[in-house]
Every structure is written in C-alpha cells, then in structure tokens.
Amino acid sequence: MRGISRRDFLSAVGMAGGAGTMFATMGALGLAPTAMGTPNFQPPQPSDFRLTGRAAAKVVVLGGGIAGLTTAYELGKAGYDCTVLEARDIAGGRNFTVRGGTRQTDLDGHTQVGRFSDGQYMNAGPARIAQWMVTLDYCRELGVPIEPFANQNANALLYNDGMAEPVRFRTAKADVYGYVGELLSKATNQGALDDRLTADDKERLLAFLSNWGGLQPDRSYTGSPRRGFSVDPGAADQAGTPLGPPPALSEVFASGVGLYFSFEFEYDFAVQMFQPVGGMDRIPAALVRAIGADRVRTGSVVTGITNRDDGVSVTYTRNGRPQRIDADYCVSAMPPHLTARIPHNLGANVQSALAAFTADPVGKIGIEHRSRWWEAEHRIYGGITRTDLDIVQIWYPSNGFHGDRGVLIGYYNTGPSAIAYGQLTPREREARAVAQGVKIHGERYRTELASSFSVAWHRTPYLEGGWAIKYGSPEYTLLNQPQGRVYFAGDWLTYLVSWQAGAFDSARRVVTELHERVLKS
C-alpha cells in the first residue's frame, strides 16, 4: 500500500477503502511499455567484478524473508559471498504456506500441527499478486508457475449483521447501480446539473446511465436480470425466473452493501490477480534453491551487530551455540521492531528509529472442508465474501476446483478483531470463526469442517506482527540510508507495505546501492 493513509489501508483490508486521494500530477495514460510494472533495475553481473579486477564482497543478510532472500539472490548473481541468517526453521518470513505436517508454536505456547489433506494448503501470509507487481517478474525468472487468484466474484456474498440473509455481489451491484442511475438521470433531466453539463454531456450521460444502471425506458430502476435468477434460463419454455423485485432504494442504501464495491477498483486489488501454483512458498523455496541452501542458515537467532570501519560482525546462536560471522557488509532484513531489541553500535538515532516502528496485529485462519459445497451448492468458484462480522471476509479457494476438498480462509482481519482472535486458543478461534461463518452459510459451514490452522502474526515468534507502516516519516528516511556498513531492507521501507512486492523492491534498491559502493571502493 502506498500514498494512502494507514486508516485507509486497514479499511481496504476490511471494509472498502475511504475516499481516494488527489495526486494532480501530469502524465500520459500510462500505456507506454516503460510506464507500468517493474522499475528499471540492473542486477549485478559477474562481469562487474571481472572487468574491474575487484573481489566480490562478503555480505551477511539478517532475516530470510523475501527481502533477505532477494538481497542474497541478486548479489549472488555477481558472485558476492552471501550468508543469510534466519531465526525460524524455514525461510520465507511471512510468506508462509501451511500444509499437512506444518508445525508452529506461538508466543503464548500454543502448538499447532497442520492436518490439511494432501494437496491442500493455506497461504497464511501473502496470498495474491497484482499484475503490475515485480513479484510476477520473480515468478517468471525463478520458474514458479502462476495461476489466477479470484479476488472478485459476482457470485460471492455480502453480509452485514442484521441482514435477513446474505446477498450476492451481482445482486447488490445491480441494485445500487440501478438506483444511482435512476437518481442521476432524474436530476439531469430536471436541469439540476445544467451549470455543469452541456446538452451533449447530458445526452451521453443519460445513455450511459441507462446502459450501466439497467434502467427502464422511463429511466426508473425496477430490477434487471443482472440481479440473478431464482430459476436459471434453460430449455424449451424455461425462460428463467429473475430474482425480484429489488428492495426499495432506502433499504439498499441502508444495508451499506455499496461500500464494499470500491475495493475492486483499487490499484492493488483489481482483477486479474495471481498466485503461485501450489502455494505462495514456492517463491522463497525457489529463491533458496537459486541462492544455494547451504547459504541460508535457519535456526539462527541474531544476538548482536557491530559495525566497524572495515566490516561488520554479527553474533548469533544456532542450536543454542553462540556463533559469529564477519563480513564486509550487512543487510538487516528483519522486522524493525525486532531489530530494535538486538544490541548494536549503530547509535541512538538508529535505535529510536527502529523502535518507532510498530507492527500491526493480523490474523488468518484456514479451514479445510470435506466437500466443496460452495461450488456444488452455491456456485461460488473462488472469490471473497465480505461481511462486517469480525471475520471480515471468507475466501473460497482459487485452486483445486471440483476437487474433493478445499481450504477456506475463515477470517483475515486486523486491529481489534485480530487481537481478539489472537487471544484465543486455536480451537477457540476455530469455533468463533465457524459460528460467524454459519451466519452466512448455514450449518454446512460447521458440519463439513475437517480441520483448521490459524495464525496470529503478532503472536508469531521472530515476526510479531503483520506489517509496519511509517512511510515518509523521518525514521523511514533514516533507515532507508546505510548506517555505516549496515543496510536495512523490507517492505516496511517502501510504499508497498504488506506486499511482497515491497520486500522485492526494497532489496533491489539496497542491492543497487551496495553494489555501486563496492564497485567504487
């Protein structure tokens, strides 16, 4: 996320986003090949050293999330001697895919072991990739196959507490757009906007509103086949029975369903989105293979960072034994608020800047069901149901269509809801999420349950939070500069906080700066 407030960001994850912010910059329509996608980035090349006679430097990378792995991967292209220290027993950081057998113990001592069936998984952290994001370029380069992620589905549901029953996105959209079309047609025809609209404008606007709103010839909205059908069109005399009539205008706007629509237009979330085939952790797995698994030391907990004029020393423990590594440079790609707890000699300004970052609570649960009733009975193939309940949303899987089983995301929440679920045991979280889901989908949501796995990121060791937003702040600016021979990297140092693309971009920037320095040294 970038250029929008933290409040807007949180509401984008939950409710639809707030009002857009004005950026009155000049620009074309953005269709030139260079205008979209990856910033111009030149990876370091082996020839960079061969041609200059210099030796590739030794770099220690702290943290084996996407930013750390990408740093080692890109520097490795030029022959840098990189070592990645990762505290957890697996690389990837928040890029974490839960399968059968996945084991995790949280800071409250709850141990979960994934019981998902073969082939079933849950992306507990990042789960979707926008077309413009550099993440896709890494998938291509690393040979990680991708498939569409259904972030939008007209058949998915909207449910606000107190509604008699959920309504499909398609139905809600037909009604809201129908009434908006009717109202604006009326105002236009009455001359209420004559100071803003020419006669040509009016004619074109009315034509648009009729088409887009599904209006009657008299420009009223009385329903439309876009709402859906109670009996589908079919053979012979089965012309189809459209749902109807629509609720009254007051009801439609009182329900608040329209507030969910803008999510689909946001730059980060608009269709078509993507996911790696088989789980998001295919990305860190491919990075580790490219780096060389021997260069990624899992189970390594950093205990000290000492910057010197001629290099950096990092102390850590591995399997309980103290270790030390010396390098020419260090890239710290750990969460800032955790780095703040590690003794270092980078000075009080750096320390207070690191400590100024606070990570947000984020929770997610994956619930495997014994059948894909949402497909067979409700014709919902992928997509997201939105609600004002504390689960915020239900995701239907974008893979394994027509299979025997599937994993729903039963909640993905932030703020107080994430804290509330995080305070429960995994079993209690499941029960609470299922009780909410039953309000939307009925008892099927409970009776088909096979198993679940929940993650409270703020209670997860060595991460302790979902994301940390301070872009544009003095602390952000400071830590985006090297401190002696120590660089910082991570999505928290970008305007793409919470996206893997941010981690990739931050690593690319650090790699570029570090490499230029090495070539000049």
**Binding residues for a second copy restricted to 172-231, rule: CB under 8 A:** 173-174, 176-178, 180, 183-184, 186-188, 190, 192-193, 196-198, 200-201, 204-205, 207-212, 214-217, 222-231
> CB–CB of 79/519 below 8 Å?
no
**Bridge-based pairing state of the strands 103-105 and 129-130:** unpaired
**Footprint of a second copy on residues 374-403 (CB under 8 A)?**
377-383, 398, 401-402
Which of residues 109 and 245 has its CB atom nearest to a second copy in the complex? 245
Query: What is the smallest separation between the CB atom of 413 and a second copy, expressed in angstroms?
Result: 20
46 binds a second copy (CB under 8 A): no
Which of residues 204 and 341 has its CB atom nearest to a second copy in the complex? 204
Which of residues 223 and 299 has its CB atom nearest to a second copy in the complex? 223
407 contacts: CB under 8 Å, gap ≥ 6: 116, 120, 121, 122, 366, 367, 368, 369, 397
β-pair partners for 105: 111
108 contacts: CB under 8 Å, gap ≥ 6: 459
**Footprint of a second copy on residues 471-500 (CB under 8 A)?**
471-472, 477, 480, 493-496
**Footprint of a second copy on residues 334-353 (CB under 8 A)?**
none
Q: With contacts defined by CB under 8 A, how many residues of the chain interact with a second copy?
A: 139
**Footprint of a second copy on residues 419-448 (CB under 8 A)?**
none
β-pair partners for 365: 411, 454
**Footprint of a second copy on residues 153-172 (CB under 8 A)?**
153-155, 157, 165-168, 170-171
Which of residues 201 and 516 has its CB atom nearest to a second copy in the complex? 201
Q: Which of 37, 8, 260 is nearest to 130 (CA)?
A: 37
**Footprint of a second copy on residues 290-329 (CB under 8 A)?**
none
150 binds a second copy (CB under 8 A): yes
Backbone angles phi, psi at 292, to 5 degrees: 105, 115
**Footprint of a second copy on residues 118-137 (CB under 8 A)?**
131-132, 136
**Footprint of a second copy on residues 241-280 (CB under 8 A)?**
241-245, 249-250, 253-254, 256, 258-259, 261-262, 265-267, 270-272, 274
β-pair partners for 325: 314
d(CA 222, CA 191) in angstroms, rounded, equals 23
Angle between helices 426-441 and 415-422 (to 10 degrees): 130
Asked if omega into 245 is within 30° of 0 (cis), the reply is: yes
> Which tokens go with 58?
């030794």
> Which tokens go with 235?
């053979």
Q: How far apart are the first and last CA of the chain?
A: 36
Binding segment (CB under 8 A) for a second copy, from list 30-38, 114-122, 289-297, 409-417: 30-38
